[in-house]
């Protein structure tokens, strides 16, 4: 009989409690057993444990848990800048690790993780669930089959709406020291998708980024939405109590650590951009034009692969003020063809579960024994590192007004790449 993997959950915010708590135990309990919960905030951990319906002991520090429980696997769901320390100490205790994205936030932290993984011989998985969405898998299959010849360039534009986009400006994500900026925190998903789709590493990045809506650009400000004097006039007013799940997990526990879930999006000290573009050149010569916007009336993305034989195009709808079918349509348009033959429309129904079924498929890949991986969807520390490095390069390019070559940031990972 298969031995269950004994895992410890670190960080019981929304992501830890749902994806790696309730949902993991609901669907994969024959493969895993939760043996400990760690969160600095004991009250949030207690709330999370009740929501998950687990009986695992709660710790507020990592090391005593590692020593007492000796889990086989540690799942890291804390803020991004704390991942490295937890990953390294867990590997050193003999556990494998799954870390939420981004793997980490700085070059030194990437080095620490990769060095510890090599030294301990344990494994780090990075939670790149977007690779597993059925539409992404279909696009990868089309590209690998050479349906549009050799890819020469990619147009990739990601839109966050005034709800989800604003959410990154309410709390720790809004500070580069905690999230690496959205070029790292959010775009790690997008850069990873590009790296995986193209089967190549980014070489050089030129980026621009500005703050145009949130932070000091706002018309007025408070500290948090609850009791704010501007709640009636503010379009970004967020009523935490209207969501019983978030209210229970964050409001009362905030009394222990002052971590408010509804921080003002117009706080003066917000230091990350909300509007970003990047031009990226890949090792295989592909050019990418990328953008990320955070206060749109729509949510979703547009991606187009331009090849020597045609073009693959997708507009994925996640939220918009009009009805769309519960499916994606991939357009494959071929050069020098006419009429119906020129375009193939491939419908991919949305799968249930988070990230259009990506979350479930990723958990299957990681936890079900004997899974094959023909599309190389399972992502480890190298994938985590390269996508973070691309974001670090983009932020540094935008700040310095220069082109940044990734090999200069981390030659040991990317080697000598010449343009
Ligand atoms: N893959 C995805 O699609 C996806 C989606 C959402 C979030 N995430 C990632 O999941 C992680 C968590 O996100 P969240 O929204 O749940 O964050 P959160 O801020 O809501 O929760 C983080 C929790 O970690 C605890 N914590 C902080 N530092 C700690 C430490 N050193 N040791 C133990 N506990 C600590 C906090 O008290 C809090 O309860 C982030 O890295 C985020 O990028 C990934």
Shared domain for 323 and 383, answered yes or no, is: yes
Instruction: Determine the straight-line distance between the first and last CA of the chain, rounded to whole angstroms.
Output: 53
What average pLDDT is seen over the chain? 96
Is there a single domain that holds both residue 82 and residue 192? no
Predicted local distance difference test score (pLDDT) of residue 354: 84
Q: At what angle do helices 107-120 and 381-400 cross, to 10 degrees?
A: 170
Do residues 117 and 182 share a domain?
A: no
305 and 189 fall within a common domain: yes
Q: Is residue 361 in some structural domain?
A: no
Mean pLDDT of 85-90: 98
* CATH number (domain holding residue 67): 3.40.50.720
34 and 142 share one domain: no
- Tell me whether strands 96-99 and 327-334 are parallel, antiparallel or unpaired: unpaired
Residue 416: per-residue pLDDT: 54
On whether residue 60 sits in a domain, the answer given is: yes
Domain end among 257, 283, 318: 257
Ligand 1: which of 75, 100, 129, 362 to mutate, most ligand atoms within 8 Å of CB? 100
Helix axes of 381-400 and 187-198: crossing angle, nearest 10 degrees: 120
Q: What is the pLDDT of residue 55?
A: 95
In terms of domains, do 279 and 380 share one?
A: yes
Distance 301 CA to ligand 1 centre (A): 24
Cα dihedral 129, 132, 133, 139 in deg (nearest 10): 130
> How far apart (Å, rounded) are the C-alpha atoms in residues 258 and 241?
17
The answer, yes or no, to whether residue 2 has pLDDT greater than 80, is no
Q: Does 287 fall in a domain?
A: yes
- Are 226 and 202 members of one domain? no
Angstrom distance (rounded) from CA 321 to CA 319: 7
| Distance of CA 12 from the midpoint of ligand 1 (Å) | 7
- Across 154-181, average pLDDT: 98
Percentage, residues of the chain above pLDDT 70: 99
Confidence class for position 1, pLDDT limits 50, 70, 90: low
Please say if the pLDDT value at position 237 is more than 60. Answer: yes
Instruction: Flag whether pLDDT at 198 surpasses 80.
Output: yes
Q: Please tell me the number of Cα atoms within 13 Å of 397 on its side-chain side.
A: 25
- Claim to verify: residue 278 and residue 151 sit in the same structural domain: yes
Give yes or no: residues 208 and 323 share one domain.
yes
Distance (Å) from CA 32 to ligand 1 centroid: 21
- pLDDT value, residue 418: 45
How many Å lie between the centroid of ligand 1 and the Cα of residue 10? Answer: 8
pLDDT score recorded for residue 340: 85
CATH number of the domain that residue 379 is part of: 3.30.360.10
**Model pLDDT, residue 419:** 41
Domain annotation covers residue 147: yes
Please, are residues 289 and 242 in contact by the beta-carbon 8 Å criterion? Answer: no
pLDDT score, position 214: 98
Which of 126, 155, 179 terminates a domain? The answer is 126
Q: Is residue 325 part of a domain?
A: yes
Cα–Cα distances in angstroms (integers) from residue 20 to residues 26, 54, 262, 366, in the given order: 10, 12, 23, 12
User: Do 204 and 249 contact (CB within 8 A), yes or no?
Assistant: no
- Percent of the chain topping pLDDT 90: 95
User: Is 335 among the domain residues?
Assistant: yes
Are 147 and 310 spatial neighbours (Cβ–Cβ below 8 Å)?
A: yes
Same domain, 152 and 204: yes
Rounded to two decimals, the pTM is 0.97
Asked if pLDDT for residue 320 goes beyond 90, the answer is: yes
Averaged pLDDT, 270-288 = 98
**In total, how many domains does the chain have?**
3
Whether residue 93 is predicted with pLDDT greater than 60 in this model: the reply is: yes
| DSSP character string of 24-71 | HHHHHTTTEEEEEEE-S-HHHHHHHHHHHT----EESSHHHHHHHH--
Output the residue whose Cα is nearest ligand 1's atom 13: 15
Q: How confident is the model at residue 351 (pLDDT cuts 50, 70, 90)?
A: confident
Same domain, 163 and 17: no
- What is the per-residue DSSP string for 62-78? HHHHHHHH--SEEEE-S
Q: Which residues line ligand 1 (CB under 6 A)?
A: 10-16, 38-41, 44, 77-80, 82, 100-101, 127, 129, 185
Confirm whether 311 is domain-assigned: yes
Tell me the pLDDT band of 104, cut-offs 50, 70 and 90. Answer: very high
66 lies in some domain: yes
- Cβ atoms of residues 153 and 289 within 8 Å: yes
Give the model confidence (pLDDT) of 280-290 as tens digits: 999 999 999 99
Q: Which domain holds residue 250?
A: 215-257
Instruction: Let me know whether 303 and 180 are in one domain.
Output: yes
Q: How confident is the model at residue 414 (pLDDT cuts 50, 70, 90)?
A: confident
Distance 239 CA to ligand 1 centre (A): 21
Of 257, 282, 310, the residue that ends a domain is 257
Cα dihedral: 175, 212, 261, 107 (round 10): -20
The closest residue, in CA terms, to atom 11 on ligand 1 is 77
The atom of ligand 1 lying closest to the CA of 99 is: 41
Measured in Å, residue 83 CA sits from the centre of ligand 1 at 9
* 370-406 residue pLDDT tens: 999 999 999 999 999 999 999 999 999 999 999 999 9
């Amino acid at each position: 009989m298969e031995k269950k993997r004994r895992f410890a959950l670190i960080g019981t915010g929304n992501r830890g409690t749902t994806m790696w708590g309730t949902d993991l135990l609901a669907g994969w309990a024959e493969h895993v057993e939760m043996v400990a919960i760690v969160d600095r905030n004991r009250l949030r951990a207690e709330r999370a444990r009740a929501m998950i319906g687990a009986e695992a002991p709660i710790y507020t520090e990592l090391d005593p848990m590692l020593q007492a429980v000796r889990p086989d696997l540690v799942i890291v769901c804390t803020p991004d800048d704390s991942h490295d320390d937890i990953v390294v100490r867990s590997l050193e205790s003999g556990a494998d690790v799954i870390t939420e994205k981004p793997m980490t936030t700085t070059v030194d932290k990437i080095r620490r993780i990769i060095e510890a993984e090599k030294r301990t011989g344990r494994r780090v998985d990075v939670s790149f669930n977007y690779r597993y969405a059925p539409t992404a898998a279909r696009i990868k299959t089309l590209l690998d089959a050479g349906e549009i010849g050799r890819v020469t360039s990619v147009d990739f534009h990601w839109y966050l709406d005034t709800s989800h986009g604003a959410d990154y400006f309410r709390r720790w994500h809004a500070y580069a020291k905690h999230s690496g900026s959205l070029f790292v925190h959010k775009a790690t998903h997008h850069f990873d998708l590009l790296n995986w789709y193209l089967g190549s590493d980014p070489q050089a990045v030129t980026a621009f980024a500005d703050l145009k809506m949130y932070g000091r650009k706002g018309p007025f400000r408070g500290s948090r939405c609850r009791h704010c004097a501007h709640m009636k006039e503010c379009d970004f007013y967020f009523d935490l109590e209207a969501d019983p799940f978030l209210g229970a997990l964050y409001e009362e526990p905030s009394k222990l650590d002052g971590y408010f879930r509804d921080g003002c999006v117009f706080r003066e000290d917000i230091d990350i951009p909300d509007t970003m573009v990047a031009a990226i050149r890949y090792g295989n010569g592909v050019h990418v034009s990328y953008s990320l916007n955070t206060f749109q009336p729509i949510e979703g993305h547009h991606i187009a692969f331009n090849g020597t034989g045609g073009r693959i195009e997708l507009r994925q709808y996640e939220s918009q003020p009009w009805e769309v079918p519960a499916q994606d349509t991939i357009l494959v348009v071929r050069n020098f063809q006419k009429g119906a033959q020129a375009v193939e429309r491939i419908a991919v129904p949305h799968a249930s579960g988070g990230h259009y079924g990506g979350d479930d498929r990723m958990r299957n890949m990681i936890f079900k024994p004997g899974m094959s991986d023909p599309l190389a969807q399972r992502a480890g520390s190298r994938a985590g590192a390269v996508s973070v490095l691309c974001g670090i390069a983009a932020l540094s390019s935008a700040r310095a007004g220069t082109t940044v070559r990734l090999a200069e940031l981390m030659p040991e990972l990317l080697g000598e790449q010449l343009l």
